[in-house]
Amino acid sequence: MIRRLAFLGIMAGVWTFAAATAQAETRIGAVSTNFRLLGANDKVVIERFDDPKIPGIACYASFAKTGGVKGSLGVATDPSQFGLSCVATGPVTLPAGLPAKQQIAAISASFLVKHFDLFRLVDPDHKAIAYVLISTKIIHGSPANAVSAVPLSGH
């Protein structure tokens, strides 16, 4: 009973955190990759994430979405296959007090269990901002990752 309550508490926290961090996303579009007779087709989705602390940077993530009946009902687990490209959309400067590492977004890849996390890391030696997209589950993560870097303006 206590384990079940602890698990439900963790799930609620993850769900709340994922919802709070995913608000900056914009769906750009999707491309069908596999026909499904029942339910939606499998597809690759592209979403844009604007960095909430650095207005001149946008990151584009592509990831596989499972279709079929389970995918249409939102209970399918998406594979850990994704790409990431971040670009400067304006001047890129570091705001004062920016943390060296910070999670800036989360993408749900399965109902409450698996998601992709987008982190920002500052590289002061080369005057750049690096972004890494990783796959995580409630209990453990995955070595699957994608990285992209954007130079600061004037460098």
pLDDT digits (tens, 9 = 90+) for 15-28: 444 444 444 689 99
User: Would you say residue 45 has pLDDT above 60?
Assistant: yes
Tokens of 150: 């954007």
**pLDDT over threshold 80, residue 134:** yes
**8: confidence class by pLDDT, cuts 50, 70, 90:** very low
Q: How far apart are CA 80 and CA 134, in angstroms?
A: 9
**Predicted confidence (pLDDT) per residue in 76-115, tens digit:** 777 778 899 999 999 999 999 999 999 999 887 776 667 7
Q: Which helix (H) or strand (E) holds 68?
A: helix 68-73
Share of the chain above pLDDT 90, in %: 49
139, two tokens: 């209990």
Name every residue whose Cβ is closer than 8 Å to that of residue 105 and which is 6 or more positions away in sequence. Answer: 21, 22, 24, 25, 49, 59, 117, 118
Residues of the chain with pLDDT > 70: what percent?
Answer: 79
Domain count, the chain: 1
Asked whether the predicted pLDDT for residue 70 surpasses 70, the reply is yes
pTM tops 0.85, yes or no:
no
Q: What average pLDDT does this structure show over 117-129?
A: 96
For residue 28, give its domain range: 2-151
Q: 3-state SS string over the chain?
A: CHHHHHHHHHHHHHHHHHHHHHHHEEEEEEEEEECCCCCECEEEEEEEEECCCCCCEEEEEEEEECCHHHHHHCCCCCCCCEEEEEEECCCCCCCCCCCCEEEEEEEECCCCCEEEEEEEEEECCCCEEEEEEEEEECCCEEEEEEEEEEECCCC
